[in-house]
């Protein structure tokens, strides 16, 4: 076998679930796999403003697995700091990345403006991490590729995108380097999603970089429609509003789909539903353009918009909050780390008539995690907010596979990887998952720390 000099340096999502950035290095080439933003704990968020740990000019290409902020949200900073190379992703991912980065820039500009106005930022003046004009520069560098297309990155590296059922456009990545293969799972989908097909299984590889968000958990077998119905109905019957913190594109569409099903089946009344996102854009158009990337018929997609009002302007947000009518509100961010959902929770979260429904993974240090663990008070924009609302969780609505889902995915490969490297998970989940993988598959499992570099030989 050829003497290889392949290594991976972990620049984010090592021992935590945000900030995904993995630098794949060979003798000739450096490829950054994902370019995500840190979210959650303050000490993590501060890393978004630290100097980049490797020379940006030495990166030959960036490849993005999917459009979640913790995988693409750092791109504008990279470009602002001088990156001028290729950025590769699938076409639906590009459309979502554009929406999401603009949304993120707008929120950061709004937050900085508000912090300066109210004087709660420790930085004076508060400056957004990036603006929409930085996002424009990112969009110019993006090139899109089909799934299963073998794309040449350099003389020694090619990459293939393989659908993985996490959000629209999401993929695992299979790198071919000098006759050796390395797979990055990306965030793996659940397998029984209402909108997306189960993750496709790659042929296999010598090395696998595997996410581990739910490495220590099995999703409960529960009927999501029943659970959603009972949360919405209980809140409605006592005269309250249901607030669902959710990423505006992807998870939001699955929730809208389920709410429509409940309305069509007359299991809930015609409650007004608002989707609040500064972009104010319906992601359903993107679903329509990429019918090969999801399971819904066009009719079902049109239906997604049928009962929902899109909220764009922050003044409209205030109007909806003040309106005493019962309603359902879906607003980002999903872990309550920022965005419009903060407006709803700071003004409606005190009221025991209301419900806050958590539907995705809640990372450590996020307000979502605090609520899940029973916090009765949250600090939002420098002020303490009392929480009297009922807190509910539907874990099986998460976009991530559970422990069994991930192990089954690896087992289905023709070639079981000899080395598995765990990223994108918190230490407790990673420890449990490492032992389980070693026992079930008899392979070497490594859990890198931030800035570790693992040689693959």
**Which residue bears the tokens 């099986």?**
396
Helical axes 314-322 vs 341-348, angle rounded to 10°: 30
**Helices in 66-196 by DSSP H: which ranges?**
69-72, 75-80, 91-118, 132-141
Q: How far apart are CA 422 and CA 419, in angstroms?
A: 10
CB of 247 to Zn ion, least distance (A): 8
Please list every residue from 278 through 317 that binds Zn ion, using CB under 5 A. none
Site for Zn ion, residues 148 to 177, rule: CB under 5 A: none
In this complex, which beta carbon is closest to Zn ion, that of residue 9 or of residue 71?
71
For residue 88, the 8-state DSSP code is E
Closest approach of Zn ion to the CB of residue 256, in Å: 19
| Nearer CB in complex with Zn ion: 6/14 | 14
9 binds Zn ion (CB under 5 A): no
What is the nearest approach in angstroms of Zn ion to the Cβ of residue 166? 6
Minimum CB distance to Zn ion smaller for 40 or for 85: 40
Q: Which stretch binds Zn ion (CB under 5 A): 60-68, 273-281, 317-325, 362-370?
A: 60-68
- β-pair type (308-311, 273-276): parallel
Min CB(71)–Zn ion separation in Å: 6
Question: From the CB of 425, what's the least distance to Zn ion, in Å?
Answer: 13
Least distance in angstroms from the C-beta of 10 to Zn ion: 17
Beta carbons within 8 Å of 323's beta carbon, 6+ residues apart: none
Nearest partner of 271 among 281, 279, 263, judged by Cα: 263
Six-digit token string for 398: 């998460």
Please state the closest distance from residue 157 (CB atom) to Zn ion, in A. Answer: 24
Question: Burial of 90 by CB count in 10 Å (0-12 exposed, 13-18 middle, 19+ buried)?
Answer: buried
Q: Name which of 165 and 365 has its Cβ closer to Zn ion.
A: 165
Q: How far apart are CA 398 and CA 17, in angstroms?
A: 14
Cβ closest to Zn ion, residue 274 vs residue 361? 361
Contact between 187 and Zn ion by CB under 5 A: the answer reads: yes
**Share of the chain residues as helix, strand and coil, in percent rounded to the nearest 5:** 35, 25, 45
DSSP state of 281: -
Question: Which of 9/68 has CB closer to Zn ion?
Answer: 68
Binding mask 107-146 for Zn ion (x = CB under 5 A): ----------------------------------------
* Among the residue ranges 22-30, 183-191, 269-277, 383-391, the one whose residues contact Zn ion (CB under 5 A): 183-191
Residue 68 interacts with Zn ion (CB under 5 A)?
A: yes
**261 lies in the site for Zn ion, by CB under 5 A:** no
Is residue 21 a contact residue for Zn ion (CB under 5 A)?
A: no
Question: Residue 200, Cβ neighbours under 10 Å: how many?
Answer: 16
- Helix segments in 216-312, DSSP class H: 224-237, 251-264, 284-289, 298-304
Yes or no: say if 424 and 212 are a contact pair by the CB < 8 Å rule.
Answer: yes
- Choose the binding region for Zn ion from 181-189, 295-303, 306-314, 324-332 (rule: CB under 5 A): 181-189
**Shortest Å distance, C-beta 348 to Zn ion:** 27
Pick between residue 247 and residue 274 the one whose CB is nearest to Zn ion: 247
**CB neighbourhood size of 8 (10 A):** 23
Nearer to Zn ion, 115 or 401 (CB): 401
Interacting span for Zn ion (CB under 5 A) from 67-75, 278-286, 383-391, 405-413: 67-75
Residues with Cβ within 8 Å of 101's Cβ and at least 6 positions away in sequence, in order, are 72, 73, 75, 76, 135, 138, 139
What x/- string results for residues 419 through 438 when contact with Zn ion is judged by CB under 5 A?
A: --------------------
Sign of the Cα torsion 232, 259, 323, 312 reads positive
Least distance to Zn ion, CB of residue 67, Å? 8
Span from 11-19, 63-71, 115-123, 367-375 in contact with Zn ion (CB under 5 A): 63-71
CB of 324 to Zn ion, least distance (A): 36
Residues 174, 185: Cα–Cα separation, whole Å: 9
CB-based burial, 66-89: b 16+ in 10 Å, e otherwise: bbbbbbbbbbbbbbbeebebbbbb
**Closest distance to Zn ion from the beta carbon of 181 (Å):** 23
Cβ nearer to Zn ion, comparing 134 with 187: 187
Number of residues that bind Zn ion (CB under 5 A): 2
Beta carbon of residue 415, minimum distance to Zn ion (angstroms, whole number)? 26
Residues near Zn ion (CB under 5 A) are 68, 187
């Amino acid at each position: 076998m050829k003497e290889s000099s392949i290594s991976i340096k972990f620049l984010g999502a090592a021992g935590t679930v945000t900030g995904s950035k993995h630098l794949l290095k060979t003798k000739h080439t450096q490829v950054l796999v994902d370019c995500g933003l840190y979210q959650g704990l303050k000490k993590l968020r501060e890393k978004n403003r630290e100097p980049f740990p490797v020379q940006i000019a030495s990166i030959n290409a960036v490849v993005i697995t999917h459009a979640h902020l913790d995988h693409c949200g750092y791109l504008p900073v990279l470009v602002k700091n001088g990156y001028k190379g290729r950025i590769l992703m699938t076409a639906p991912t590009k459309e979502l990345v554009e929406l999401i980065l603009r949304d993120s820039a707008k929120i950061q500009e709004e937050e900085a403006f508000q912090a300066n106005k109210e004087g709660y930022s420790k930085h004076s003046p508060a400056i957004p991490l990036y603006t929409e004009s930085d996002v424009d520069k990112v969009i110019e560098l993006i090139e899109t590729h089909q799934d299963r297309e073998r794309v040449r990155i350099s003389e020694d590296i090619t990459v293939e995108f393989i659908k993985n059922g996490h959000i629209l456009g999401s993929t695992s990545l299979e790198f071919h380097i000098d006759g050796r293969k390395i797979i990055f799972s990306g965030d793996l989908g659940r397998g029984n999603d209402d909108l997306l097909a189960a993750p496709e299984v790659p042929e296999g590889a010598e090395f696998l970089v595997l996410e581990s968000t739910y490495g220590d958990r099995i999703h409960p077998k529960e009927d999501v429609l029943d659970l959603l119905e009972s949360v919405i109905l209980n809140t409605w019957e006592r005269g309250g509003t249901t607030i669902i913190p959710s990423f505006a594109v992807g998870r939001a569409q699955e929730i809208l789909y389920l709410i429509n099903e409940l309305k069509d089946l007359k299991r809930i009344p015609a409650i007004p539903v608002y989707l609040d996102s500064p972009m104010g854009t319906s992601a359903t158009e993107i679903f329509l353009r990429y019918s090969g990337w999801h399971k819904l018929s066009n009719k079902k997609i049109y239906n997604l918009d049928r009962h929902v009002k899109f909220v764009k302007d922050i003044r409209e947000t205030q109007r909806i909050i003040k309106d005493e009518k019962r309603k359902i509100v879906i607003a980002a961010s999903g872990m309550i780390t920022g965005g419009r959902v903060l407006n709803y929770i700071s003004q409606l979260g005190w009221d025991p008539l209301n419900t806050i429904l958590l539907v995705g993974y809640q990372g450590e240090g996020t307000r979502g995690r605090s609520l899940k663990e029973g916090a009765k008070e949250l600090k939002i924009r420098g002020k303490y907010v009392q929480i009297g609302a009922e807190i509910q969780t539907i874990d099986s609505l998460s976009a991530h596979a559970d422990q069994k889902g991930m192990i089954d995915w690896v087992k289905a490969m023709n070639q079981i990887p000899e080395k598995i490297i765990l990223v994108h998970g918190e230490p407790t989940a990673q420890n449990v998952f490492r032992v389980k993988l070693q026992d079930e598959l008899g392979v070497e499992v490594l859990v890198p720390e931030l800035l570790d570099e693992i040689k693959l030989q």
